[in-house]
Amino acid sequence: MSRKLPLAEGQVARTATARMLLRGGVDEKTGEALTARMVAERVGWAADLVAGMTAGLLAEHWNAGDVAVLAGGVDGAGRVLPANAWMALRRLGWGATPSEGIKVNDRIVRMAQEQAGRILRGAQHRVQLTAGILATWPAEAGKRTPAEWDAVREAIPGGRSLPGSVIKARTRQIMAFAEKYGRFPVDVFELEEVPGAARMLVLAAVDRQQATLERADEDPARVLVRLQLPLRPDPRSYADWTWVACPLTLPPTVPPDAVPHLPTLRPQDQKVSVDLAFSHPVPKAEGKGHTTALGVDWGLNTLLAAGAVRRDNDGTITALGAGAMFRASGVMARQHRLRRHSERLHAKTDTYARLIGGQGDHYLAAKHAVLTAERRHVADRRSGLNDALAWSAARWTVDQAIAVGASVIYLEDLRSMEAKGMGRTLNTRLSQTVRGRIADNMRHLAAETGIAVVTVPAPDTSKHCPQCLVPLRHCKAPDRPTTPGWKWAICPNPQCGWQGDRDHGAWRRIAARGLTHQPTTTIDRATGRMTIPRVIDTLETSAVIASTVPSPAGGGDRSKTGPTPHRSPRPVPRRREAPSTPSPRRPAGQRPEGHAHTDPRPPRAACRYQGVRTPVHTISSSTPTSRNRPRHRPKGTALGAGFHLHAHAAPPRWADPPITTLNVTTDP
């Protein structure tokens, strides 16, 4: 199977990951069918071998000198290091060896070097972050002035786009170290311990001698993964390794023309999670040249508010519709209940741990173990709920953009938002909103259709009017304009008069700001994220939404030119909307127009189509009236209910009119 992805003009390759479970396999040497638990056991043995060698590599090279050499990208001979982490470590001579008596092939060592190399390369960012904070330590710990914030951002590479919460978290970590030891740490390697190695098999670092991947020709959704796994936790020879074939079923999210790659296996709880990477062509997303955009504003109870705007050739920006909201009050309320439950469990387990004091035979040890397991269970539930909420919100936003034909989504950038001064409960709710995960999922889903996701600066998006940029006046509700609040916004400018929901005004401001500032969009080379770094005053003055409703001052002439017509103070009674029936040609007919029924019960068979039979009869003129004769029961009663239970209903207006033939005679 070819691993080269063909691309057409205007397309780019997109790599994504699909997660699935390993349901079982077959031992190719013996032909034995292996259950999912048996495969998970063998994968766990191999993952333990890889994790042990990875931990040894990290402990040996977790220092400033080795990390700097690896991050420099050049070896001792001046040659550029390869992009693959395991090849870079081998070029530097950093090898990994298994425990004494353990026999593994070279591809198992590759996976350990790949995992250790990725961790060591990622440590360079933390080295620069810690060094920049230590070099510009504020005069008052934990409270930086604007000048000190500018200094620390300049000292950190890429600090201008770094969220302030990351700098504050690292500052608190340094403060805790200084309080414990009475001095500042030298670098991040003294501040942090050696990171742990995860139990996983990175099959992307191996070749066909360790693992292969084949896709079925008759069924593109079927994939066969073959890999060598040990027969025992401590293999003593190559005979203790055997090939295992594991079939996989791809989820519907993987396109049929996608090129799959070797996956990463993660054993956990007697099952194996498979992260299968695949590449497929998608339309290229552009950062400039957009005319229709979707603006997205963050909220708390209303998680997202979004709407579309269009920019014409003359620079006029018009809102397309009233916008929509993504409400997740029920999910977020459940999330907060789980958070409070988790906090109580943490407090209990900490108290029990303090009372036990390291005594294994303490009578509270069993209860402490039960509470610890329950705490992990609640944490898993919170994580799953956050994942589901993030994917649902991202899918809703991208669907809104596709529906209106928008080529870009402008998202409010709240990475540096600090929740403070709003009370303990509200601060916690704001801090634990999954905004970052929603934004990442939004970029992932939007890339499938070539829609760009650009973050826009957030200042004053909810403060100023979207039509005239005048500061808004906020109140409780539109019918309570004098009650202090924040939900409803009213423009005090008499020439504008805009009013609406605060979030709806914010997405208009975000979309207009994005369209006017799109020439300044920057793209991060490492991550590919698009960002508008700052607000430019000359461009901000044109970021206004054109009013679609004429203002009262500019309306038509309302001067009085004649007498006011008399209007009766008595309301007209509600009457049936159907036209009155013509005069009956027979003794009986439908009841004429009158008041509507007041009976709340629906008519019998009201949902059934009440067609008309031929010949049409309502109440027959030959209906017996004598008491001695049997009561008349017309067949039309079975059709349904009309004005009377025994009368036919008129045909619907949308029915096709009868075809009539018109005879026209002409004189010769």
Q: Return the structure tokens found at 94.
A: 């950093």
Given the candidates 3.40.1350, 2.10.240, 3.30.420, 1.10.10, the CATH classification of the domain at 292-327+384-552 is 3.30.420
Question: Strand 271-283 vs strand 211-215: parallel, antiparallel, or unpaired?
Answer: unpaired
User: Beta strand 24-27 with 473-475: parallel, antiparallel or unpaired?
Assistant: unpaired
Mean pLDDT of 233-251: 93
In the numeric block, which tokens belong to residue 252?
Answer: 């519907």
Phi-psi region of 438 (alpha: psi -120 to 50; beta: other; left: phi over 0): alpha
Mean pLDDT of 542-560: 63
Distance (Å, whole) CA 168 – CA 153? 12
pTM above 0.85, yes or no: no
Instruction: Over range 395-407, report the average pLDDT.
Output: 93
As a whole number of angstroms, the longest Cα–Cα distance in the chain is 122
Sign of CA dihedral 331, 336, 342, 348: negative
CB atoms within 10 A of CB 158: 12
Phi/psi of residue 619, nearest 5 degrees: -110, 120
Among 26-30, 74-78, 224-228, 576-580, which stretch is predicted with the lowest mean pLDDT? 576-580
Q: Can you give the pLDDT at residue 416?
A: 53
Average pLDDT value over all residues in the chain = 81
Task: Provide the Cα torsion 120, 121, 127, 128; round to 10°.
Answer: 180
Q: How far apart are CA 549 and CA 341, in angstroms?
A: 50
**Helix or strand or coil: residue 409?**
strand
When mean pLDDT is compared across 3-7, 576-580, 608-612, the lowest value belongs to: 608-612
At 524 the pLDDT is 84
- Confidence band of 270 (pLDDT split at 50, 70, 90): confident
Q: What does the pLDDT read at residue 533?
A: 86
Determine the average pLDDT of the residues in 633-651.
45
Q: What is the mean pLDDT of residues 91-108?
A: 91
Residue with tokens 């957030």: 458
Q: What is the pLDDT of residue 274?
A: 95
Instruction: Give 408-428 pLDDT, tens digit per residue.
Output: 999 988 765 554 554 555 445
Per-residue 3-state assignment (H helix, E strand, C coil) for 110-122:
HHHHHHHHHHHHH
Mean pLDDT of 618-640: 46
Confidence of residue 527 (pLDDT cuts 50, 70, 90): confident
Rounded to 5°, angle at Cα 438 from 329 and 340: 45
Q: Is 230 left (phi over 0), alpha (psi -120 to 50) or beta?
A: beta
Domain boundaries, the chain: 12-137+184-281, 292-327+384-552
Q: Among all chains, which residue has been given the structure tokens 């025994």?
A: 646
- For 204, which DSSP code? G
Task: Label each residue of 614-644 as H, E or C.
Answer: CCCCCCCCCCCCCCCCCCCCCHHHHHCCCCC
Write the Ramachandran bin of 640: left for phi over 0, alpha for psi from -120 to 50, otherwise beta: left
pLDDT digits (tens, 9 = 90+) for 348-368: 999 999 998 888 788 889 999
Interacting residues of 248 by C-beta distance below 8 A, sequence separation 6+: 20, 22, 222, 223, 224, 225, 274, 276
**What per-residue confidence (pLDDT) applies to 152?**
92
Report for 37-51, 67-81, 522-536, 587-601: range of highest mean pLDDT:
37-51
Structure tokens at 571: 């309301």
Where do runs of H (alpha helix) occur along 136-163?
146-155
Phi, psi angles (nearest 5°) of residue 195: -65, 150
Higher pLDDT, 526 or 618: 526
Q: How confident is the model at residue 572 (pLDDT cuts 50, 70, 90)?
A: low
Percentage of the chain exceeding pLDDT 70: 79
pLDDT tens-digit series, residues 135-167 = 999 988 778 888 998 899 999 988 877 877 788
pLDDT of residue 622: 41
- Whether the link from the prior residue into 552 is cis, omega within 30° of 0, is no
